[in-house]
Amino acid sequence: MANVLVFAETNNEKVKPVTYEILGRLSGQNVDVVSIGGIDADSVSSLAKYGAENIHKIQGSGLEKYSPEGYSNALKNFIDSKSYDYVFMGATSAGKDFFPRLAGSFEAGCASDVTNFIFEGDDFSGTKPMFAGKALTKVSFEGAKPRFITVRPNALGMPENENAKAGTLADANGDAGNIRAAIKEIIKGASEKVDLTEANIIVSGGRAMKEEANFKILDELADVIGATVGASRAAVDSGYAPHSMQVGQTGKTVAPSLYIACGISGAIQHLAGMRTSKVIVAINTDPDAPIFTKADYGIVGDLFKVVPILKEEFKALLG
């Protein structure tokens, strides 16, 4: 039985869903959770429900704002005071930013962006996409502990069975230490929708959207089904959408339950960012578009006619 620590990234004191996904795969291990900053009572209860024995909340000087050095320093000091075999976190923007630094401070290995994993006794074995998702490789560890793993959001799915533990909340003092590069300001995006990397449903538009104003029809569909709107690189390069909406090898890698691709041809660069979606629906006028080879469902037609019909059908279905 391994001693495992899961870092719970929060947003407005709410724990991000990928933390619960990770906890759902750690049944049979000794599991603690740690967060930096505030964490609300509902999140504490949910963490306990999914298997957290102890929940540690680190607060201290220099930790009021996120910084990769500060978070890494504070977590290193905390981990040094304990005895963990593995440390997990979601492969979010922050996870990709500071977790490799944290692993490097221990001179330990870091398996990044895994999409599945199991434990055989105390031994970890994970699955990681390689070569833009065209191949999957098995990853494991040798050498120093603790060992570090980041998990792709939405890849594991939410736990079906509860594994309730004590979930005792304890405060821990922390210090950001010597920060050489400080983040002066974090500007919140205008959209209130869930970030693409965490979204369960995504509606994306490609070059066939023709202009920025036409993304309004995707926004309207997204509002009905609770989706987040994305874009292909072609749409972003054409100025139809900002880079923050780009899905693909040079954008964001996503793994939603449902991905609706509207007017996207299916270039390998785009497929690399969304091919692990559970269900893919493609809408395109070209019946030979590469996206149809990866889609579970395909609609050959004009997206400007099809999307409004889909919106009305979903609206009627969802009441």
**Residue pLDDT, tens place only, 196-218:** 999 999 999 999 999 999 999 99
Looking at residue 215, its pLDDT comes to: 97
First to last CA, the chain: 48
Instruction: List the single range of 61-65, 70-74, 80-84, 229-233 with lowest mean pLDDT.
Output: 61-65
**Average pLDDT for residues 114-126, to the nearest whole number?**
93
Average pLDDT, the chain: 92
Measured CA to CA, the distance from residue 223 to residue 216 in angstroms comes to 10
* 3-state SS track over 242-310: CHHHEECCCCECCCCCEEEEECCCCCHHHHHHHCCCCEEEEEECCCCCCHHHHCCEEEECCHHHHHHHH
Paired tokens of 160: 């079906």
Whether 69 contacts 180, CB under 8 Å? yes
- Write out pLDDT tens, residues 83-100: 999 999 999 999 999 999
Instruction: Give the Cα separation of 106 and 98 in Å (integer).
Output: 13
Structure pTM?
0.87
Domains of the chain: 3-175 (3.40.50.620), 196-318 (3.40.50.1220)
What pLDDT does 191 receive?
64
- pLDDT above 80 (res 139): yes
